[in-house]
Amino acid sequence: MRARHYCDKCAIRDRALCSALPPSAAVDLSRIAHYRRIPAGQIIQSEHQGLSWFAIIVSGVVKLVKAQQDGRQQIVGLQFPSDFVGRPYTSQLSLIAEATTNLELCCFAKGAFEALMQEHPALEKALLRRALDELDASREWMFLLGRKTAREKVASLLSSIAARFAQPKNEADCQPAALRFDLPLSRNEIADALGLTIETVSREIRHLKSMDVIFTAGRRNVIVPDLCVLRAMAEGEQA
Amino acid sequence: MRARHYCDKCAIRDRALCSALPPSAAVDLSRIAHYRRIPAGQIIQSEHQGLSWFAIIVSGVVKLVKAQQDGRQQIVGLQFPSDFVGRPYTSQLSLIAEATTNLELCCFAKGAFEALMQEHPALEKALLRRALDELDASREWMFLLGRKTAREKVASLLSSIAARFAQPKNEADCQPAALRFDLPLSRNEIADALGLTIETVSREIRHLKSMDVIFTAGRRNVIVPDLCVLRAMAEGEQA
DNA sequence: CGTCCACTTGATGGGCATCAACCGAAGTGG
DNA sequence: CCACTTCGGTTGATGCCCATCAAGTGGACG
């Protein structure tokens, strides 16, 4: 089942890597693509066994985890739909990649993809742009890890997920920016992303609820009545 | 004073970006290069005024700082000799770059460099490799910020600087790995890199000295009798 | 020799980790 | 259909690591 049949109706067509390519490169890329579904929780790439393919995320979320023998671990990257998964130019990776939700991927065999990179410099250019953007994002996250309080950390994560995922709460109710979304992460994963413990995450979420900055329905569903207020919390305004 | 006259005797010739280019691209690059010296403490790029040039560091160290209005700041990158300074493909940068030591730079005007990128895909490829390596390094640092203790943080920074800079303590004294180097950072900058305060940095350095893991001479000079021991501390072995 | 500044050292407190108990939803099996 | 288990999450009590506040030290430089 080849992806080229589906590129026309691909949900992320206009945001993914391929949208930045000239037509000839995009067609060549679609020729080596194949779809793949992966269930939540599955490990895509472990520390010692690299990936034999690269992928563009069509739907779902991937976490990149750095772990130490003593059990400590830190999520060092989250990849969302239209993001690129995999690292060219190296075989040894000290990262674990895992599906935090069910995934739909548009995959490319590693060898074939690297051959295409030789042929189409535009592909390398597009990857460079993405790598630089990821670098910017990871630096933003370093500030969070090093200098923000637990409350600011939780607010930051929620607001950045909201910005990626949220749809207006409902169409009739056209408030300035009322958003609703499902967290793609468990409490444990949130803690690992923020450099906190699950208990602290739980307490800070409770606090945000008590301030009416967010509302929750069930364990994963979140409503943000006003994203600006949440963003202000993320920057440390008021206590 | 053009760099091409000096490429032959350039100290970082075999490690820098240009070493990864085919001869034709390297020559074109050397044609647009010019040397520049910058004194310690000078701000190379502020948040609102982007760089009008890119550079390869010949000697010295550059810090990349992310700052918030309320005064909190975090060093999110350190660039050493042979590293590339500057970000193609964007004009707005929310980073401050500052010389932490005196610098010698091999500079390229932004426009000329970007024109060369169009002409030589190998240049983009080399930048991509570097960007991916920087991304790996920044993820390593995220683990440090999120999950390491103050002692491990200090040991990690010292060992990674030692690995970059150190020469054997002296030739006669051929111990397994006795290293000596000068810190390119003040205590304040160390604290900003590690997400700590200067007081904590000072105390942890004292503690490492009391354990004979390091010795110091003056404020900046450090001797590491055995890098392996320091590395072990950085990973959290023993207290 | 005096001043300044980076750094050190000490005393105290707070924020978050740790340990422990509890809760509720989703199975599971008799 | 209902006890029983499991598991993710919540809540509470306590303690420790590191920040904060404050004072002292020593090297650099005029």
Mean pLDDT, residues A67-72: 94
Query: Quick one: tokens of B195?
Result: 């997400």
pLDDT in tens, B141-183: 999 999 999 999 999 999 999 998 876 655 544 456 689 999 9
pLDDT in tens, A80-132: 999 999 999 887 778 999 999 999 999 999 999 999 999 999 999 999 999 99
Distance A144 CA to D17 C1' (A): 19
Longest dimension (CA), chain A: 56
Confidence of residue A170 (pLDDT cuts 50, 70, 90): low
- If you search the block for the tokens 């893991």, which residue do you land on? B213
Which letter does DSSP use for residue A178 in this model? Answer: -
In strand D, which positions have an atom below 7 A from any protein CB? Answer: 8-13, 17-22, 27-28
Distances (CA, A) of B27 to A47, A154, B33: 40, 50, 10
In strand C, which positions have an atom below 7 A from any protein CB? Answer: 6-11, 15-20
Query: Quick one: tokens of A194?
Result: 């923020």
Environment class of residue B144 by beta-carbon count within 10 Å: exposed (0-12), middle (13-18) or buried (19+)? buried
How far apart (Å, rounded) are the C-alpha atoms in residues A169 and B172? 73
Residue A174: its pLDDT value, please?
Answer: 46
How far apart (Å, rounded) are the C-alpha atoms in residues A201 and A151? 8
Which residues in chain B have their CB less than 8 angstroms from residue A131's CB?
A: 128, 131-132, 135
* Nearest alpha-carbon partner for A102 in A19, A182, A215, A190: A182
Alpha helices in chain A (DSSP H): 23-31, 110-119, 121-147, 150-165, 187-194, 198-210, 227-234
Backbone angles phi, psi at B73, to 5 degrees: -145, 155
Confidence of residue B1 (pLDDT cuts 50, 70, 90): very low
Residue B47: its pLDDT value, please?
Answer: 78
Backbone angles phi, psi at A89, to 5 degrees: 70, 15
Which residues in chain A have their CB less than 8 angstroms from residue B125's CB?
A: 121, 124
Distance A151 CA to C20 C1' (A): 24
* Statement: residue B49 has pLDDT above 80: no
* Nearest alpha-carbon partner for B138 in B53, B64, B239: B64
- Give the other-Cβ count within 10 Å of B102's Cβ: 14
CB B213 within 8 A of CB B193: no
Candidates B47, B142, B197, partner chain A, best to mutate (most A CBs within 10 A)? B142
* Statement: residue B3 has pLDDT above 50: no
Of A212-226, B42-56, B123-137, minimum mean pLDDT range: B42-56
Distance B198 CA to C8 C1' (A): 10
Which letter does DSSP use for residue A135 in this model? Answer: H
Residues 198-217 of A with CB under 7 A from strand C: 199-200
pTM given for the model = 0.94
Cβ contact A95–B139 (<8 Å): yes
